[in-house]
Structure 1
Amino acid sequence: MSYGGPAGLPHVDAKTPPVLTLARPVTRREVPGWCDDVRSLLRTTGARVVVCDVGGLGPPGLGAVELLARLELAARRAGGRIRLRDPDPALLALLDLVGLRFQVEGQAEQGEPALGVEEEVEPCDPAV
């Protein structure tokens, strides 16, 4: 007797990463608490990534850069990473200026093509 398995699509348990919402500017005294929150989310959910919604973080400045750098360090020490959601373009420019690179939600990872982008092929190009 053999068992063919259940009919239909297989069950997939897709994990959505936990989200940490930074809805207002954060003071220097609050940073250790946010780092504890990142470590706790990684530990309790088993996720490898915590999404940090930085849309409400306030005007970009060195305080925001320090916060994100410390959150990333806390996440890496816990075996994970952070991903930014809804960052201000000025914040991304400031992070780039100080040499910090973060994965941004909706961006293709390095080495991967962007979603929805198709390579244009010229009629005279040889098939690969």
Structure 2
Amino acid sequence: MAASATTFAIGATLTRADIPVLCADLAELVRGRVGGVVVCDVAHVVHPGVVTVEALARLRLTARRHGWRLAVAGAGPDLLELVRLLGLTDVLFEVGRQSEQREEACGVEEVVDGRDPPG
């Protein structure tokens, strides 16, 4: 049996006060349904900021609490870059694809300082 999927859209503008309402709306949408994937459509977000990223993180937690996964769709370059800068790409976006430039999935890279003594 295929996993269930449903779509949940975020509007053009978002404030921190909107986050609890979005989470409650998502919980109402999935409550009592067999788990699957919530496709969170962010294509209409005009000026993504930290509040947008916070909303996505909280929506992801809400979905997980109800046995669902959250997949983000329609993210523009500004949102993608902001999520990358905050180090949350693997948390908020599907990790099923191979890590960029063969980095470790956790995003940790060892940096060697040429001034350090060997050993």
Give, in whole Å, the separation in 2 of the partners of 1:26 and 1:46: 29
- Equivalent residue, structure 1, for 2:82: 94
- Equivalent residue, structure 1, for 2:93: 103
| Contact 2:36/2:67, CA 8 A, preserved across alignment | yes
**Gaps in structure 2 of 5+ consecutive residues:** 99-119
- Deviation of residue 85 (structure 1)? 1.1
- Equivalent residue, structure 2, for 1:48: 36
Give, in whole Å, the separation in 2 of the partners of 1:44 and 1:51: 18
Q: 1:21 aligns with which of 9, 19, 38?
A: 9
> Compared with structure 1, are the counterparts of its residues 99 and 23 closer, same or farther at alpha carbon in structure 2 (3 Å cutoff)?
same
- Equivalent residue, structure 1, for 2:60: 72
Give, in whole Å, the separation in 2 of the partners of 1:110 and 1:19: 21
- Percent identical across equivalent pairs? 36
> Compared with structure 1, are the counterparts of its residues 80 and 86 closer, same or farther at alpha carbon in structure 2 (3 Å cutoff)?
same
Give, in whole Å, the separation in 2 of the partners of 1:103 and 1:42: 20
Count of aligned residue pairs for this structure pair: 96
- Equivalent residue, structure 2, for 1:34: 22
Structure number having the greater helix percentage:
2
Cα RMSD for the two superposed structures = 2.1
**Gaps in structure 1 of 5+ consecutive residues:** 1-12, 112-128
Higher RCO, 1 or 2 (CA under 8 Å, sep at least 6)?
A: 2
Q: Which runs of structure 1 show a deviation greater than 3 angstroms over 4 or more consecutive aligned residues? A: 13-16
Using the size of structure 1 for normalisation, the TM-score is 0.64
Greater Rg over alpha carbons, structure:
1
| Contact 2:63/2:70, CA 8 A, preserved across alignment | yes
